[in-house]
A and B are shown apart, each in its own frame.
Chain A
Amino acid sequence: MPKITLNGEEVEFQEGQTVIEVATERGTVVPHYCWHPALSVVASCRICQVEIHGPGPKRLATACNTPAVDGMVVTTESDDVSKARAGNLEALLLNHPLDCPICDKAGECWLQDYTYEYGASTGRNDFPRRKLEKRKDIADHVLLDQERCILCTRCVRFLDDYAKKPELVVTSRGERSTIDIFADQKVTSEYSGNLADICPVGALTLKEFRFVNRVWYLRGTDSVCPSCSRGCSITLDVRDNELNRVRPRTNREVNGWFICDEGRFGLLDVYHPGGRLEHVRVDGDDAVLEVAARAIAERLKADGDLLVLASPDATNEELFLLKRVVGGLDGKATLAFAKVETADGDDILRTGEPAANVAGLRFQGFEELDAAALKRALGAAKTAWVLDRNVHALDPRPGFVVVQAVTSALADDADVVLPGGTVGEKEGTLTNVDERLQRIRPALKPPATVPGDFRALLAVGEALGVDGLPRTPGEAFMAWADTFGGTELTLAGLPRDGLLRGEAAAPAAKEKQA
């Protein structure tokens, strides 16, 4: 393999990689604005200057479009580099408004960061700054502040290269250049929220996050989007048990650097649902979990023929536990799930299948029931245990109905209600459309009276007297993985004990957000 010397160390690279790619891969940060690993290279911001010591004369060059060549010697910091960056920042700051105290990007703004690192402490500009539109409504979720824009064109290229529809463009020329939409045609892309992430400054911000919070108060938790079966890697930013923001998390194997708007904004509601089931109930009255579990156990022991309608959003560990809980019953238990209605996806990320773990259900052998099959199964069952919040009616209604979900239209009519949890509250794994196993972590706490799915299932199992049940999602994962023979399906790069140590996100997911 060819090598370059990067800051004194020899580094191997692959033919065709640029200096910034080689550096980034080994964790050396080269300041950049316009470069983004998922977008075409324009090399226009000029901040990524590094020093090339050879071959050829010593010189500055932009790392983002300089191909690495064997034997090249590169330093990413030097006096000349610092001077170039300082000069560059001075230019960018000439017309930049002094908005930091009121800017949503403050704290994660690259103009702030680099200025802190390289910028001169005093400005020499004594001209008034450019006045442009400060609050332009350019998309349902996104506002544009043209004054803050540094014209890196990431947003333009995102919509053109990635979303395949150039709806945001640079208009005019030279110092009069601005980012803009055409007339009143707002950005229609279903991926518009990414604009705010890729904008290195506070020029593109989310209406949903505008002045909601200062970023440094937020706690981020790695998670996976359950809104469709792509299962994009995301970060849930939470403050005071409230989900304030959903961000994509880099995962080259699944979603790259981006997520769709439905995932990003939908979860703000999905994870704080209205009309949430908050109390365990038996025959319409509030009850403690053990009482409810006992009622279910008695029913199942007395009268078999159970139909389980599992949730397509359940974790693999919950599904495994569920199978263990009902596995010991004498009567017949049908493990099934109601067919998920799919819409058209797109050829970017959205699969159109609005559920997190259909692949997991299939893998564990749950039977998929279409409307007719569901009707037949309900007719044959004496008891229905409905864990799917999307089942709105039971026709015919079996004699005994258990509802276990976050919300449910069936709750008022159920014999037993077990409040479930959202994916954002859970620990465990989900299997995406490509059968990739992905880790989720709890970012939110359910209300105190909600037992959550895993605990509720465990209580029923205990009431039934099943032995050797896994007591935590971690144990469940171990036991489950054992059933399918070890690690190769412990799913590409997701080691079993890694999960238990709580650090098992796919390796690529560790990459710094670009």
Chain B
Amino acid sequence: MIALDGDAKLSARIDELKSWYPDPRAALIPALHEVQKKLQWLPDDAVVWVAGKFDTTPADVEAVITFYDMFHRSPRGKHEVAVCRNLACKATGADEITACLEKKLGVRVGETSEDGEISLSTFECLGGCTEAPIVAADWYYHRNVDAAKAEKIVDDLRAGKPAAQEPRGEEPAAKDGVELYLTRRMREHGDGPGMEVSLDAYLKSDGYKALEKALSMDRDAVIEEVKESGLRGRGGAGFPTGVKWGFMPKEPKKPHYLAVNADESEPGTCKDRLLIERDPHSLIEGCAISAYAIRAEKIYIYIRGEYLYAAEVLQRAIEEAREKGYLGKNVMGKEGVHLDAFVTRGAGAYICGEETAMMESLEGKRGHPRPKPPFPAQSGLWKSPTTVNNVETLCNVPYIVLKGAKWYRGMGNEKSPGNLLYQVSGKVKRPGIYEMPLGTTAKTLIDECAGGMLEGYEMVGYNPGGASAGFFPPSMVDVALDHDTMKEKKSMLGTGAITVVDQKTGMLPAIDAFISFFEHETCGQCGPCREGCGWAHRLMRRFLTGRAKIEDLDVMLDLLDNAVGKTICVYPEALAGPVRLGIEHFRDEFERAVREQRSAASTT
């Protein structure tokens, strides 16, 4: 393609990206971002051009492109405006914003305004739930958007104002009397242009002291300390972090990798973005310590494509860390310890948060989860031993190393120690990200932290941990949100995201928002999951559109039974959250819907 061939900078950039990875193929998705940035979309000849760069067929590239929502195979406008369509944003007016933008631009969702300036889309949860509704303009986020603000966003784009992230608000909020560590620095030292903790401020507040200490320790002693602390993964599954690190071979036969999961796409969840945007060096320090402990030299941070601003903040911080020797050869002067970190952006696919799908995506492929075994510690990225950890998990690590396991165990409870970033969204007075000890109840979070419901709104249920955790009724606000209690209640702690459902949103539309999400996001490899998600979604829609039968609920439960435990990854278990718990706790709502549609039918 002439336009691309003539662009020496683009080719050089692609070559640079390729050099980051042991297999240049891994640069495919980043390269597609670069090409799309230039052309706004990926026409046939661009696909052919990229295929040539990666020594493969255009079909192979097409397979990758079409897996990811952010890539376009049909013409797009100069600017992309995306409105979040998941629960928290829906509850706070996202649908009205979409309608307003449709009207203003004279287009439907998915289309481009006649002047070719602006394409409008809706996206699944954009990870800004506590500042809902979110509108992204060229992937820079605007928060708490209302109709007027949405119109201004579009006007500014048309006027040629460069798109930029709107600075964050008064977060993170905190409750009196809680010992903060994850968010302490950003509250006290957030001095950067985006309120982030600059490297200077970071260093002044004991930054990289933990890395220094870790480097003075034996690698296995670091693992032991983390094991002792009882830290459990914050990505959703809650696996003990130290134990996971212990699975890595002690004598590397192949290079080891640390893969950092910053894909954060679970509806309701927005804590990793906070950590990266406001305190990137905490993450880098956590990564460095972890990589040292597991005998890895390369750290790959996979960040969801929508988090453009966070990726930029992180990239800058990595460069600073390299400059100052916190990354690079002989880290902090320690002979033989070489570390480097790279940020790889995804391109819009929730499943890439599943750790093996993430590795596929990092390798430049469709995000298909891999069958296990082999587990990542045996064969992960590029078939080498790999540890995958969530951003928040790694952000805990420096504090554990610095202050010790015993200190850490002083927070939270026996089986779930430490603090968690709980994210409270929906029609509450003070939606926000609250650092609280693990095991805090939903009641405390909703009533005390978030100040209870807004005037005129009443809670009809809540989502206790991200879409996969399903829904609880208001009668269950006393549940302690920790791993074991949540498991007892047939849910999961998940990501600590609490989305309150109000009476105006309604339980059935809320349940539908999550089922619809899972339908949209299944990778589609396994028959029972691919078809089951679609079927569940179609059945669910009927309860909203008035053609449902009460037996449909049994079909929904049964199709889940046919998928749960029988597929490559645990995705059907995630779908089971809203379906099973939705039916268990809100059966009367379903029944009422059927009754009402029947009486509506008999009066017409």
* Chain A residues in the interface with B (C-beta under 8 A): 41-47, 49, 60, 62, 65, 67, 83-84, 86-88, 90-92, 94-95, 124-125, 127, 150-151, 153, 160, 165-177, 180-183, 185
Contacts and interface: CB of A to CB of B under 8 A. Distances in A.
Nearest to B367: A173
Contacts of A174: 519-524, 530, 533-534
A177 B60 CA distance: 14
Q: Which residue, A45, A62, A160, A177, has most C-beta atoms of chain B within 10 A?
A: A177
Given A45-B526, A87-B559, 10 more contacts: A46-B526, A90-B559, A91-B535, A124-B555, A151-B525, A173-B521, A174-B519, A180-B62, A183-B47, A185-B58
A176 B534 CA distance: 10
B524 A173 contact: yes
A168 B526 contact: no
Nearest 6 pairs of A and B residues by beta carbon? A87-B562, A169-B63, A91-B531, A182-B59, A175-B534, A44-B525
A510 B34 CA distance: 53
Interface centre among B371, B522, B531, B567 (most CB of A within 10 A): B531
9 contacts: A46-B528, A46-B567, A49-B566, A62-B371, A87-B528, A88-B562, A95-B531, A173-B366, A174-B523
A222 to B, nearest CB: 34
Contacts of B528: 46, 87-88, 91
B576 interface: no
B604 to A, nearest CB: 22
B63 A91 contact: no
A167 to B, nearest CB: 5
Given A60-B566, A62-B371, A173-B349, A168 B59 contact: yes
Contacts of B368: 42, 44
Q: How large is the interface on B (under 10, 10 to 19, 20 to 34, 35 or more residues)?
A: 35 or more
Nearest to A160: B60
Nearest to A181: B59
B29 to A, nearest CB: 14
Contact of A91 (B61, B538, B562): B562
A50 to B, nearest CB: 12
B563 interface: yes
B462 to A, nearest CB: 27
A67 B372 CA distance: 11
B525 A42 contact: yes
A182 B562 contact: no
Nearest to B60: A166
A445 to B, nearest CB: 44
B527 interface: yes
A199 B552 CA distance: 33
Contacts of A84: 562, 566
A183 B58 contact: yes
B192 to A, nearest CB: 37
A317 B57 CA distance: 47
A160 B66 CA distance: 18
A172 B368 CA distance: 12
Contacts of A165: 57
B67 interface: yes
A47 B566 CA distance: 9
Contacts of B538: 127
A183 B43 CA distance: 10
Contacts of A177: 524, 530
B243 to A, nearest CB: 19
B330 interface: no
A127 B567 CA distance: 24
Nearest to B45: A183
A44 B519 contact: no
By DSSP majority rule, is chain B's interface helix, strand, loop, or mixed?
helix
Contact of B59 (A60, A67, A169, A176): A169
Nearest to B371: A43
Q: Which of A67, A174, A175 has the most chain B CB atoms inside 10 A of its CB?
A: A174
Query: In this complex, which of A42, A46, A60 has the most chain B Cβ atoms within 10 angstroms of its Cβ?
Result: A46
A170 B63 contact: yes
B565 interface: yes
A62 B568 CA distance: 9
B66 A172 contact: yes
Nearest to A83: B562
A152 to B, nearest CB: 9
Contact of A43 (B56, B530, B559, B568): B568
Interface in B561-595: 561-563, 565-568
Contacts of B521: 173-174
Nearest to B68: A173
Interface string B362-381: 00001010010100000000
A214 to B, nearest CB: 28
A181 B568 CA distance: 26
B519 A151 contact: no
B530 A175 contact: yes
B16 interface: no
A176 B525 CA distance: 11
B432 to A, nearest CB: 33
B522 A42 contact: no
Contacts of B452: none
Nearest to B65: A171
Given A91-B532, A175-B533, A150 B527 contact: yes
B44 interface: yes
Interface in B490-507: none
Contacts of B371: 41-43, 62, 65
Contacts of B60: 160, 166, 169
Nearest to B64: A169
Contacts of A160: 60
Contacts of B535: 91, 94, 125, 127
A77 to B, nearest CB: 16
A44 B563 contact: no
Interface centre among B60, B366, B522 (most CB of A within 10 A): B60
Contacts of A65: 371
Nearest to A65: B371
Contacts of B558: 87
B59 A167 contact: yes
Contacts of A91: 527-528, 530-532, 535, 559, 562-563
B530 A151 contact: yes
A182 to B, nearest CB: 4
A44 B566 contact: no
Contacts of B531: 91-92, 94-95, 175
Given A91-B562, A183-B44, A175 B62 contact: no
Contacts of B562: 83-84, 86-88, 90-91
B379 to A, nearest CB: 13
Interface centre among A44, A45, A165, A167 (most CB of B within 10 A): A44
A84 B528 CA distance: 10
A180 B567 CA distance: 24
Nearest to A95: B531
B359 to A, nearest CB: 15
A151 B58 contact: no
A165 B62 CA distance: 14
Given A183-B44, A183-B58, A175 B63 contact: no
Contacts of A124: 555
Contacts of B532: 91
A60 B555 contact: no
A232 B528 CA distance: 38
Nearest to A92: B527
A174 B531 CA distance: 8
A160 B534 CA distance: 29
Contact of B565 (A45, A60, A94, A170): A60
Contacts of B559: 87, 90-91
Contacts of A170: 63, 366, 524
Nearest to B537: A175
Contacts of A181: 59
Nearest to A34: B525
Interface string B31-75: 000000000000010010000000011111111001100000000
B83 to A, nearest CB: 21
Q: Which of B373, B538, B558, B566 has the most chain A CB atoms inside 10 A of its CB? A: B566
